[in-house]
Structure 1
Amino acid sequence: MALAAGFILLVVLMVVGMPVAIALSISGAVGLYLVGGVDLAAGIVAATPLGSVNGFEWVMLPMFILMANLVMISGIGQDMFDIAKIWVGRIPGGLAHATAITGAGFGAISGSSTAAAATLASTTIPGMIKQGYNPQLAAGVVAISGTLSMLIPPSGAMVIYALLADMSVAHLLIAGVIPGLLVTLTIVLTVLFLIWRHPEHGPSAESYSWGEKIRSLRKAWTFMLLFAAVTVVIYTGVATPTEASALGALTALALSVLRGVTFKQVLNAARSAVETSCMLALIIVGAHLFVYFLTMTQAAQGLIGFLAEAGIDRFWILLFVLLMYLVLGCFMDLIAMLILTIPIVVPLMDSLGYDLIWVAILTIIMGEIGVLTPPLGMNVYVISSTTGMKLGDVFRGSVPHVIAHLILLAVLVAFPALVTWLPSTMD
């Protein structure tokens, strides 16, 4: 009874528009009261704020957010697009392919999907439309390419997942590398298919000589340095993910200064990082209150026991969970989805014998799809507000990529080693 009341209250509060952090806190506190009375609820509510965010590992979130903000104002994203455009712009749909490659590159030095979408939208869509690209195709490839920041390290979403699920942050971040590359390839193949059907939607761009292509790589050192400062040092074990996040933010700051970014711009980037981090901290506090409530009700154990008695094949349970994420993605952002589901889904998947890193990557990919699907579609709204395009056009341009993502998800379900191999090579 208490479990149902807590969930109903949470849904009602979110439907009426209450911020996720407040909705989680209120429903968690009320649920704790229903389970154990005033003393239990008051004790947990008093202790949770400090206990939720006082670990060093949470430092990663503000550092990765600051790094993303500094990368966005420094113009490194424009450099990556220019390099990709010179190398692949000549082939049909080349600017769209360059956008996908830039999205992968941006994802490797930024953990923010919305920052990536905003940067790509302002950097690439005007050039594609000027070149004669179909606006829906241009918007769709930008929307999906921005989601690569969720998957390719450093990913703020995967940091939150790992910390909430008590998993290795380093192994989960590195597990996103190969799937991230496969997602990039999927975007490119989808664009090729769309251009094959409608060649006029993606005309070829300017041709460049081999000399110009080689010279363009001189701009790549900033991206390579940032990639090495985070992903490489995590994979090799030179630094922990927390240390790597600080190193990445410091490197991004140094590059921003070298590229002429003003003190006011740096201050604004830091202020934005603080605001976003505080918002996430409030969500995490609310999430812990709600998780304590779920733990008291033994919701996960009850579900596991029910499914064990029912004798349902574990594949169908996995399929149901993935479909659940697909539906939830239509109505809430990835962070809210993770907070609500991890306390139940992770123990369930563990009891079924699934690799939890593999399950996490599948979940993040479902989150990528969620930021493209109506009615929420966070990246779609970002692109629409940045470019002035109609929401419907951006949503329609995203549909082929949603379908392609679901096909890739089926491949990763069939071949788990594509996810689990790289992290298994770490010390």
Structure 2
Amino acid sequence: MIVPLPLFLLFLMLALAVPVGFAMALSGTLGLYLMGGWDTVRGVLTTTPLSTVSGYELITIPMFLLMAEFILVSGVADGLFRAAAAWIGRVRGGLGMATTLAGAGFAAICGTSTAAAATLSATTLPAMIKQGYEPRMASGVVAISGTLAILIPPSVGFVIYGLIAEVNIGKLLIAGLLPAVVVTATILLTIYILVLLDPTRAPPVAGVSWAEKVRLLRLALPIVLLFAFVTGMIYSGIATPTEAAALGAFGGFVLALASGRLTVSSFRSCLVKAVYGSAMVMMIVMGAAVFGYFFTLTQWTQDLVAWVGALHVSRWAIITVILLGYLLLGCFMDQTAILILTVPIVLPIIKSLGFDPIWFGVVKIVTAEVGLITPPIGLNCFVVARYSGMPVGEVFRGSLPHFIAHLFALAILVAFPEISLWLPSKM
């Protein structure tokens, strides 16, 4: 009864929309009380908050969030889309493909999928609809392109996973690069196939002169350089992820300043939003630590690992069941909540089966991408619907082909772990 009661309380609070950090802290506190009384609760609560959030690596999160806010102010996402549209716009579905490439470029300096989806909704979606794109298809492209921010470094999701799983955050961030290429190519191919099946979904647009293409290409150059700088510093080992994040935040500040859009008011807004986002993540991490202490005391994870180890089935069958469970959870829960709740339980099983935790982190993040467009909770679809004024059901229907295509991409990443592990092995 000790384990089920706190778990029931946790899921009840999540269903009542209690913030996940507070839900985990309260349910974990109840579990600690049932295990050892008030002395256990007092001992954990007086030491855990400070020891959890004082980690040097956690500084990475506010720095990446601050960099994203500065980039949003600079308006660079619009420039990325215009440059991509100029180069591939004449291809059928070219504006949709340009949206995906702009989403990938914006993801390279954003780190949060909801911010990416909101920005693309405000910049690329109106342009596609204006050119005669089917609204359902256009909204689906924007929703799925926004998810790239959780995979392409800098990814806040990777940082959180790295902290929970206690694996090298730098290697995790670099591990996302080649899978991001696979996923981006999957989205582009899906757009091409959709337009091939029904050309009325995406009419062709007028061509652009070479001089204009070169001029617009310069709009994307600052972002490419900033991404190459931050990622290169991590890959080469010149800077830690925390130091690279700080340098990236400064680079974002310079871009916002150079754009002429950075005012005292917008600067203050960037700081406040980064603080809000950081405080939310820190509360989640603290709540997860309290809940983790409770689970450690129950020995439930160790018993589960022993039970799985005794099963006479292929380890690939077990990983398939785990991923199907993640896809199912993604239909009903926020991805951060899933990450915090499940990784401490699932990761020991993954290690006992002989899988690499960095590879599993990449696979987990890709399943999180799928969850961001899966009804009824798919957050990116709600963001697109809010900014576009479209019914959320239409956005979900527009995302359905990408959901199916993402399952194929996920299967490729599971079948070929080298895609995720090759670059980190060369660091």
Report the TM-score, using the length of structure 2 for normalisation. 0.98
Residues 113-192 of structure 1 correspond to what in structure 2 (within 5 A)? 113-192=113-192
Q: Which residue of 1 aligns with 2:230?
A: 230
Shift of 1:415: 1.1
Aligned equivalents of 1:355, 1:4: Cα separation in 2: 30
Please identify, of 208-217 and 197-206, the stretch whose mean Cα deviation from structure 2 is larger: 208-217
Aligned equivalents of 1:270, 1:229: Cα separation in 2: 23
1:323 paired to 2:324: yes
1:384 paired to 2:385: yes
Stretches (4+) displaced over 4 A: none
Deviation string for 1:372-395 (max 9, x for gaps)? 111111111111111111101100
SS of aligned partner of 1:2: coil
Shift of 1:170: 0.3
Aligned equivalents of 1:248, 1:229: Cα separation in 2: 8
Shift of 1:61: 0.6
Shift of 1:337: 0.5
Residues 16-415 of structure 1 correspond to what in structure 2 (within 5 A)? 16-261=16-261, 262-415=263-416
Aligned equivalents of 2:302, 2:236: Cα separation in 1: 37
Aligned pair count?
426
Deviation string for 1:186-210 (max 9, x for gaps)? 0000000100111011111120122
Give the letter for the 2:144 counterpart.
I
1:229–1:251: 8 Å Cα contact kept in structure 2?
A: no
The unaligned stretches of length 5 or more in structure 1 are none
Give the letter for the 1:343 counterpart.
P
Deviation string for 1:210-246 (max 9, x for gaps)? 2322222222221123113311111111110000110
Shift of 1:309: 2.1
Query: Sequence identity, in percent?
Result: 49
Aligned equivalents of 2:264, 2:89: Cα separation in 1: 35
Deviation string for 1:50-87 (max 9, x for gaps)? 11110111011111111111111211111111110000
Shift of 1:281: 1.0
Please identify, of 138-147 and 325-334, the stretch whose mean Cα deviation from structure 2 is larger: 325-334
Aligned equivalents of 1:366, 1:279: Cα separation in 2: 22
Aligned equivalents of 1:118, 1:197: Cα separation in 2: 29
Aligned equivalents of 1:7, 1:195: Cα separation in 2: 46
2:309–2:352: 8 Å Cα contact kept in structure 1?
A: no
Aligned equivalents of 1:15, 1:149: Cα separation in 2: 26
Deviation string for 1:341-389 (max 9, x for gaps)? 0111111100100011111111101100101111111111111111111
Give the letter for the 1:78 counterpart.
D
Aligned equivalents of 2:136, 2:58: Cα separation in 1: 38
2:308–2:349: 8 Å Cα contact kept in structure 1?
A: no
Shift of 1:316: 1.3
The unaligned stretches of length 5 or more in structure 2 are none
Give the letter for the 1:94 counterpart.
G
Give the letter for the 1:401 counterpart.
H
Aligned equivalents of 1:310, 1:227: Cα separation in 2: 45
SS of aligned partner of 1:42: helix
Aligned equivalents of 2:178, 2:225: Cα separation in 1: 20
Please identify, of 16-25 and 158-167, the stretch whose mean Cα deviation from structure 2 is larger: 16-25
Aligned equivalents of 2:138, 2:17: Cα separation in 1: 32
Aligned equivalents of 2:166, 2:32: Cα separation in 1: 22
1:175–1:361: 8 Å Cα contact kept in structure 2?
A: yes
Aligned equivalents of 1:270, 1:114: Cα separation in 2: 18
Deviation string for 1:301-355 (max 9, x for gaps)? 1001111223232111101110111011111111100110011111110010001
Aligned equivalents of 2:182, 2:323: Cα separation in 1: 19
SS of aligned partner of 1:204: coil
Give the letter for the 1:58 counterpart.
L
Aligned equivalents of 2:336, 2:15: Cα separation in 1: 17
Aligned equivalents of 2:264, 2:98: Cα separation in 1: 31
Aligned equivalents of 2:38, 2:312: Cα separation in 1: 39
Aligned equivalents of 2:380, 2:309: Cα separation in 1: 39
Please identify, of 228-237 and 177-186, the stretch whose mean Cα deviation from structure 2 is larger: 228-237
Please identify, of 5-14 and 186-195, the stretch whose mean Cα deviation from structure 2 is larger: 5-14
Give the letter for the 2:383 counterpart.
V
1:60–1:246: 8 Å Cα contact kept in structure 2?
A: yes
Give the letter for the 1:206 counterpart.
A
Deviation string for 1:263-310 (max 9, x for gaps)? 211211111111111111111111110011111111221001111223
Give the letter for the 1:6 counterpart.
P
1:104–1:181: 8 Å Cα contact kept in structure 2?
A: no
SS of aligned partner of 2:310: helix
Once superposed, what is the RMSD of the aligned Cα atoms? 1.0
Give the letter for the 1:98 counterpart.
A
Aligned equivalents of 1:48, 1:358: Cα separation in 2: 29
